[in-house]
Amino acid sequence: MQIKIDPILVERYIMALAAFGAHGETGVWRTVYSPEWVAATKQFAKWCEDAGLTVKHDAVGNVWGIHRGIAAGKSIVSGSHIDTQKPGGRYDGALGLLAALIAIKSLKEQFGRPKRTLEAVAFCEEESSRFPTTNFWGSSAVTGNIAPGQAETMKGYADETMADAMKAIGLEPARIPEAKRDDIETFLELHVEQGPILEDAGLAVAVVDAITGLRHYRVTLTGVQNHAGAFPMDLRNDPMAGFAEIAAGVIGTAERLGRPAVTTVGQINTYPNMPSVVPANVRFTIDTRHPDPAARMAMYASHEKTMKEVAERRGLKIEWEISVDHSPCISNPSLVTMLRDTAKVQGIRTLTMPSGAGHDSQEMEKIAKVAMIFVRSKDGRSHTIEEFSSIEDICEGIRLLAAGMYELAYA
């Protein structure tokens, strides 16, 4: 049994979706609930309708394309997030929802109605690029993990609340609990790898057996604002000096721990941000990840010790909040085996690897069996407009996704 995936359709959908929020030559800037986001979700819904799927928009703006099965029972769902980094590329997230739609459309055209219900989903938000504390807004609504009142208190980078952003496009925050699902059996997510492992191995497709745990610290280091020339070094409480030591310290810890530990200081703001002023404060983020639960906690403890020690020694006040926190996630072993076996039957060579990026799958794992498929990323690049995967590789990935869905829903 060979499932045909139309490469021309795949390329057309990727390019058309990337036009909503197009940024520079090859990038996309599409934050949740923005006008570009609204247009992109409408387009996805339209394509689902064109494919003969039943379209549902839920209370947080996730879009579901449903192909009803003959038998009763829980659904087999695939998809990913439709929002992007600022800017991101054309593939991170977007590829997962298009792959799900194309896989279901191809199965429907070639094999008709399945036994089990198949669904493609575009999750509204995963990147935390408009609201830094969302923790995967779209999939968290589906698992019932958005607390009452959270939308009202959650603030965006532009200081708007999540509730206001939702209302501005006609969504009612009080209805968020209605997005919760308890009828999903399996969630399969296709995503670009976003790293160099597949390229190094000379392979197009991987099966993902685990997803890293990750945490974001949002840190404020406060010192004493002073004149850059007249105030002696030994009398300063300089938060920039503290920041430099902390950044080098936590990055150094991850370097010493070695793969797969990672730590990134990606965002920094200082006040008043002037060349001749010892700053009053420095605010920065630490993104830190490890797939092993115990090693992850040990690394966090080490980072927190570094922050406290540096601040104390330099007479600085330090405060932090943990804005994003996801536990590591192990893929369902039977799904991993099924995907690997299916790939063999389909003549698709794969390797099995963990994910260093966070994904909606790790939220969905709270209510469903999950596994992921990775597609090779050119030069391992992602979270940049340079992100690229070839249509040939993508079609191999979608072919595996479709064959996996066939096993689960038709066989």
Q: Which stretch binds Mn ion (CB under 5 A): 93-101, 201-209, 321-329, 390-398?
A: 93-101
Of 58, 83, 127, 396, the one binding ligand HGY by CB under 6 A: 127
Least CB distance from residue 126 to ligand HGY, whole Å?
A: 5
The one of ligand HGY, Mn ion, none whose footprint includes residue 173, by CB under 5 to 8 A per kind, is none
Least CB distance from residue 68 to ligand HGY, whole Å?
A: 31
Q: Give the span between the Cα atoms of 407 and 350, in whole angstroms.
A: 18
Written as one string, the DSSP assignment of 58-117 is -TT--EEEEE--SS-SPEEEEEEE----TTB-SSTTHHHHHHHHHHHHHHHHHH-S-SS-
The one of Mn ion, ligand HGY, none whose footprint includes residue 358, by CB under 5 to 8 A per kind, is ligand HGY
Q: Give the span between the Cα atoms of 89 and 80, in whole angstroms.
A: 14
Q: Is 126 a residue that touches ligand HGY (CB under 6 A)?
A: yes
Closer CB to ligand HGY, 127 or 393, in the complex: 127
Q: Number of residues in contact with Mn ion, rule: CB under 5 A?
A: 2
Closer CB to Mn ion, 243 or 374, in the complex: 374
Asked if residue 91 lies in contact with residue 389, where contact means CB atoms within 8 angstroms, the answer is yes
Closer CB to ligand HGY, 116 or 303, in the complex: 303
The one of ligand HGY, Mn ion, none whose footprint includes residue 87, by CB under 5 to 8 A per kind, is none
Q: Is 210 a residue that touches ligand HGY (CB under 6 A)?
A: no
Of 92, 119, 189, 387, the one binding Mn ion by CB under 5 A: 92
Q: Give the span between the Cα atoms of 150 and 163, in whole angstroms.
A: 8
Burial class of 80 by CB neighbour count within 10 A (0 to 12, 13 to 18, 19+): buried
Q: Is 358 a residue that touches ligand HGY (CB under 6 A)?
A: yes
Q: Give me the 319-338 binding string for ligand HGY, x by CB under 6 A, dash otherwise.
A: --------------------
Q: Residue 151: helix, strand or coil by DSSP?
A: helix
Of 221, 357, 405, 408, the one binding ligand HGY by CB under 6 A: 357
Q: Give the span between the Cα atoms of 262 and 269, in whole angstroms.
A: 22
Nearest to 98 by CA among 36, 22, 189, 35: 189
257-289: b (≥16 Cβ within 10 Å) or e: beebbbbebeeeebeeeeeeebbebbbbbbbbb
Closer CB to Mn ion, 100 or 318, in the complex: 100
Q: Give the interface with ligand HGY as residue ranges (CB under 6 A).
A: 126-127, 357-358
